[in-house]
Amino acid sequence: MKKVYLDNASTTQLLPEVILEMTKILTEDYGNPSSTHSLGRNAKSILELSRKSIAKHLNATAAEIIFTSCGTEANNWILRSAVKDLKVARIITSKIEHHAVLHTALALQNEYGIQVDFVKVKSNGAIDITHLVELLSQEKKTLVSLMHVNNETGTILDLSKVSQICKEHNTLFHSDTVQSIGKIEVDLQKTPIDFIVASAHKFHGPKGVGFAFVRKNSGLQPLFFGGEQEKGQRPGTEAIHQIAGMAKALELSYSNLNEDRNYISELKNYLTERLKGDFPDSKINGENTFYNLVNVILPFTADKTSMLLFNLDMKGIAVSRGSACQSGSIRPSHVLAEMLTDEDLKKPSLRISFSHFNTKEDIDLLMEGLKSI
Ligand code: PLP
């Protein structure tokens, strides 16, 4: 049975070049980058070349890239240290953030008694910028944390605009860019943002590695303590093969960006046309959404809804309902809950997300699968 993988917002297939790079490093370059002998120096050089390469693609300096174990860790670190060390007394965020931000902000509210304010979300999934500006009029040391591309609906935040607004209000700005890094150009010289985070497995790199961009002289302090790795900002022996795999994946993502983006956008158009034709009562969630993702409400009855993902899975088709972290859960998605009416929330929403590995045939198989349910 052909496997149809349409869950790329959840994770992506490794690029063959990434596997080759990682295998070579695992086999030959096993030194510890903190060792002074030649194997160690070799590992250190791989580490620093990876950092330079990642920084170059984002127009940052190498010193501003700190490697972490994943996007979740990077988000936790930035929010927590902002409160603990930078004395942020208030976090402005939204209820459609990934739980790595949302749950961290709430935990910090509990632990430190900081104020957490939520910017309104419009029914089309966009952040209400007028409300953000209103919230920023309060005098309190504040961190704004708003994601770039939403992992469930693909709605996009205007990073340039929001970073300018934050700068004008003398406010720190963090963006969870896990869904956008490697998929859209981000210029950190032109965008006055303080912190962003990324995760390699979202752009065809390995799981278990990510990075934080922390603007120079931010004052952020480490979450845990140990060696001098990452200039003491993130101790622990660096996973060189993961880091080099991530750098390779990012390099390939950006060198093929235009071609891949055009190709994936065409797949998305094809899917939306087919949905209109085969399910005229379906409804896309969100407006002006990212090119790799469609979140759609399907006009299915309750009896069909409960078994939807299971039935597609039996046909070899992998898609997601809400966010991947919640698949299998019967709770409605916390993101859709902010956008949809109660009636629409009861209907099944599917998240279909593409990569350049997908074809129109995958979409045809998905549509056949949905029609046969
Ligand atoms: N932030 C967003 C927007 C995500 O989509 C994800 C992954 O689903 C994460 C954070 C967490 O990243 P990681 O899987 O690297 O911990």
Rounded to whole angstroms, the Cα distance separating 191 from 199 reads 20
**Who's near 252: CB < 8 A, 6+ residues apart?**
15, 17, 18, 204
Q: What is the pLDDT of residue 343?
A: 87
3-state helix, strand, coil in the chain (%, to 5): 45, 15, 40
Strands 90-94 and 349-353 come out as unpaired
**What pLDDT, on the 0 to 100 scale, is given for residue 327?**
46
User: 121 and 96 in contact (C-beta within 8 Å)?
Assistant: yes
Both structure tokens of 241: 């093969």
pLDDT value at residue 307? 83
Q: Give the chain's residues under pLDDT 50.
A: 323-328
CB-based pocket (< 6 A), ligand 1: 70-72, 98, 100, 147, 151, 176, 178-179, 199, 210
What is the reported pLDDT for 149? 98
Instruction: Report helix, strand or coil for 190.
Output: coil
- 26, 89, 325, 345: which is the annotated catalytic residue? 325
82 and 220 Cβ atoms separated by less than 8 Å = yes
pLDDT given for residue 205 in this prediction: 98
For position 323, what pLDDT does the model report?
A: 43
* Count of helix runs (H) and strand runs (E) in the chain: 13, 12
Assessment of whether the complete model's pTM goes beyond 0.85: yes
pLDDT at 138: 87
Ligand 1 centroid vs 188 CA: distance in angstroms?
A: 20
Q: 279: CA distance to ligand 1 center in Å?
A: 31
> How much is the pLDDT for 62?
98
